[in-house]
């Protein structure tokens, strides 16, 4: 613990995972210590939505350019943008897709960090996919 417990003055704490977050609790009285330690402090590996070694910088650049550096879900273009999956890695592996198929340009799209985090392990809805495909086809026609 970073400081003595406010209730019992104890200095020993335990890390308990609640809702995916590391939380610190007093080991003597069980009171919440009032902070969530960073994973570097607890020794657990860090999780990052951006850590996809299968997506090279050139592929990321291609996807961002193709999708006009705009989140295809909410339309925002400011803030951090992620390269996300139409068919999630979790669902794709469950139905037998290979790594090459999961990380192919056609299975990737641009989402803002908020939309991508909200998506989680879910595959994007078919209705949303159809809407985006219509926009892409129309854009190709006007560019020709």
pTM > 0.75: yes or no = no
pLDDT tens for each residue of 11-25: 999 998 886 778 899
pLDDT tens for each residue of 92-103: 999 999 999 999
| Reduced 3-state DSSP string for the chain | CCCCCCCCCCCCEEEEEECCEEEEEECCCCCECCCCCCHHHHCCCCCCCCCCCCCCHHHHHHHHHHCCCCCCCCCCCCCCEEEEECCCHHHHHHCCCCHHHHCCHHHEEEEEHHHHHHHCCCCCCHHHHHHHHHHHHHHHHHHC
pLDDT (0 to 100) of residue 38: 85
Contacts for 18 with CB less than 8 Å, ≥ 6 apart: none
How far the first Cα of the chain sits from its last, in Å, is 63
pLDDT tens for each residue of 26-80: 999 999 988 888 877 888 776 655 556 788 889 999 999 999 999 988 889 888 8
């Amino acid at each position: 613990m970073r400081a003595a417990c406010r209730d019992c003055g104890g200095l020993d704490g335990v890390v308990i995972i609640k809702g995916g977050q590391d939380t610190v609790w007093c080991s003597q009285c069980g009171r919440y210590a009032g902070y969530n330690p960073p994973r570097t402090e607890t020794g657990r590996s860090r999780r990052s939505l951006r850590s996809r070694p299968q997506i090279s910088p050139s592929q990321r650049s291609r996807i961002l350019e193709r999708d006009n550096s705009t989140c295809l879900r909410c339309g925002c273009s400011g803030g951090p943008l992620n390269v996300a999956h139409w068919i999630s890695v979790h669902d794709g592996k469950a139905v037998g897709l290979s790594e090459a198929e999961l990380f192919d340009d056609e299975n990737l799209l641009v989402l803002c960090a908020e939309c991508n985090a909200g998506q989680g392990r879910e595959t994007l809805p078919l209705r949303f996919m159809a809407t985006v495909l219509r926009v892409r086809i129309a854009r190709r026609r006007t560019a020709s």
